[in-house]
Amino acid sequence: MTAPSPAPAADAPIGVFDSGVGGLSVWREIARALPTESIIYLADQAHVPYGPRPLAEVSAFSEAIVRHLLDRGCKAIVVACNTASAAALKDLRARFPGMPILGMEPAVKPAAAITRSGVIGVMATPATFAGRLYQATVGRHAASIRVVSQTCPRLADLVESGSLDSHRVDDALRGYVRPMLDEGADVIVLGCTHYPFVIDGIRRVAGEGVQVIDPAPAIARHLGNVLVHHGLARLAGAAEYSFLTTGEPSRFAAQATTLLGSPVTARAVSWLSPTQLGGQ
């Protein structure tokens, strides 16, 4: 087991990671809700997409990333990726005890509370649906309703490619959203952090009677509470933001600048050796 040392103080940054740019949908909510908190964002673009990969492989990537973020002095970790949360959240908490580690869980509970038709749709990756976290969430909160689990094979790649308003995205969204509507879904849960960047397109295809839930604002609020609980909340001062990628920094910077609407610079991390990752 590895414990971070020395113990991080409130001024330390929060570490946030995803396979790519999707976790920026969580980053922007954290930055909005907790404007004095510094954040290190790490995109594992050398391995994006995570969705089609085996859970064990995503778990190995996640552990290496968390270790790296803790080496950089992070005081808390947000796994801003449903797939990595499905693959690794439980193990990460066991491996880094005492470190606040938050993850993404498809927002099945709030969806179940507001559906009138008794059918909800969840859009996520195959790995997320395969994980025990999803099965447990559905079992706990949606036993009396029907859940349509919709994989969206090309969507994370389309968001990574930056074509958010293209015909290709609209065509893909129609193919993913309509089957859920045909089953009677009146609430759609975004179960992948890449998808909030195409939420307007999803709403367009779904139509007015359907609610679309992005869990990112709730995670940011929860993070605020967790930091206070651990005595780690930073109450004043200017936030510092840094962005790291295992891919090409100039490409990430351009993607993030478009998605966040403000200039982003990024640095490469080259620490992910194949051995650390259990082979690639």
**Contacting residues toward ligand DGL, per CB under 6 A:** 18-20, 22, 48-51, 81-83, 104, 125, 128, 156, 192-194
Residue from 192, 212, 244, 266 carrying the catalytic annotation: 192
Catalytic annotation present for 152 = no
Pairing of strands 101-103, 119-124: unpaired
Least distance from ligand DGL to the Cβ atom of residue 46, Å: 12
Least distance from ligand DGL to the Cβ atom of residue 9, Å: 30
Residue nearer to ligand DGL on the CB measure, 141 or 194: 194
Residue nearer to ligand DGL on the CB measure, 79 or 232: 79
Least distance from ligand DGL to the Cβ atom of residue 21, Å: 8
Catalytic annotation present for 81 = yes
Q: Alpha-carbon distance 185 to 175, whole Å? A: 15
Q: Alpha-carbon distance 98 to 85, whole Å? A: 18
Q: Alpha-carbon distance 67 to 242, whole Å? A: 17
| Cβ proximity of 38 and 63 under 8 Å | no
Residue from 81, 86, 147, 177 carrying the catalytic annotation: 81
Residue nearer to ligand DGL on the CB measure, 130 or 233: 130
Task: Enter the tokens of residue 276.
Answer: 């650390």
Q: Alpha-carbon distance 44 to 246, whole Å? A: 5
124: left (phi over 0), alpha (psi -120 to 50) or beta: beta
Residue nearer to ligand DGL on the CB measure, 96 or 195: 195
Least distance from ligand DGL to the Cβ atom of residue 193, Å: 4
Task: Report the catalytic residues.
Answer: 81, 192
